[in-house]
Amino acid sequence: MAPLYNGEDDDVATTERLPVEETGPFACLCNNLVKSFCAATTVRNKRVIVSLGLLLLLPAVLSVLFLSWKVDGVIAWPWGTVFLFVWLVDAMCLAYYPRIIPRWSASLELSSRTNAVHFVSFACMVLCHVFIALRLDGLVDWKWTWVLLPFILTGMLKRSNHVAVFAWLQVVFLAPRLDATLLWPWPIVFLPLELYAIGCLAYCMYTLSTAPPRQERAKAGATLLGLVLLLGIPLVLLLLRLEGTCEFSAMSILTSWLVGYGILAIAGLANIHWSAPQDDFV
């Protein structure tokens, strides 16, 4: 693997370093998983890496599951308990962050200011989680704009990729609607998420129609299916519920996402198994 910076060409080094520098150490962890998967030479190693990636997503899945049960009245836990796995991940990250930042910054030769920005951004995310739990439990009566302000500040502190930008815009649109400051219809409130989904779908369809290699078309088709299962269907069900058009339970919306998540996980593992030569199973 070529080094990110070799000191020979400053312009090239800058263009290669900036995207990594701006993502933060946790995005680098995800990138390392992807690189490890691509570098794996046996089916067993690829299965382990894919399983590890799915395991890292488990706290998010369980958090959404608890959230759905709480909204549907299945459980009567306080919101602080509903966010149990959120606190667990935050605690693990607080333990992980001081260890990973020195290695990560040393490998990329980052400034102390950049390290501070990333740490403050993470602290704002944790603070936002705390504010949301306090607000939902009725322990504070702040407006949602103030509750979500730490997350909004996170997007302003550092340059982000397009996914983070759309997430930031979504929160900016959502906060005044929750405060009833703006009474936009819910499809307008979720416009950033809708635009992101439409853009991804359009890109995948364009790739399907123009990419000559069969492998590239297969990747675009798999991505298109994933977007429909994980983003399209749950978003449509959520909007129908919020607008009062249909009475879907929160668990029904989550189930559509979990089914899509399960299909993609099984399909990914099956693809690893069937696409590899038999002598790779070592």
| Torsion sign (Cα): 90, 95, 98, 104 | negative
pLDDT recorded at residue 125: 87
The H or E element containing residue 32 is helix 25-39
- Note the helical H segments in 72-190: 79-82, 84-108, 112-136, 144-147, 149-157, 162-178, 186-189
Say if CB 147 and CB 136 are below 8 A apart: no
**Would you give per-residue pLDDT tens digits along the chain (282 residues)?**
333 333 334 333 333 343 444 455 556 666 666 777 777 777 777 777 777 777 777 888 888 899 999 999 999 999 999 999 999 988 887 777 666 655 555 555 556 666 677 778 888 889 999 999 999 999 999 999 999 999 888 877 766 667 778 888 999 999 999 999 988 999 999 999 889 888 877 777 777 677 666 666 666 666 666 666 677 778 888 888 888 888 878 888 888 777 777 776 676 666 665 555 544 444
DSSP string, 211-235: --SHHHHHHHHHHHHHHIIIIIHHH
The CB-based long-range contact list for 49-52 (8 Å cut-off, 24+ gap) reads 50/265, 50/268, 50/269, 50/272
Per the document, the length of the chain is: 282
Helix axes 162-178, 149-157, angle to 10 degrees: 150
Give Cβ neighbours of residue 25 (< 8 Å, ≥ 6 apart).
97, 100, 101, 104, 118
| Residue boundaries of the structural domains of the chain | 184-270
Helix axes 149-157, 112-136, angle to 10 degrees: 160
Angle at 244 between CA 242 and CA 249, to 5 degrees: 65
Compute the distance between CA of residue 8 and CA of residue 100 in angstroms, rounded to an integer.
27
Count CB-CB contacts under 10 A for residue 168: 18
Which DSSP letter does residue 247 get? -
Compute the distance between CA of residue 206 and CA of residue 235 in angstroms, rounded to an integer.
22
pLDDT recorded at residue 130: 95
pTM for the model stands at 0.75
pLDDT recorded at residue 177: 94
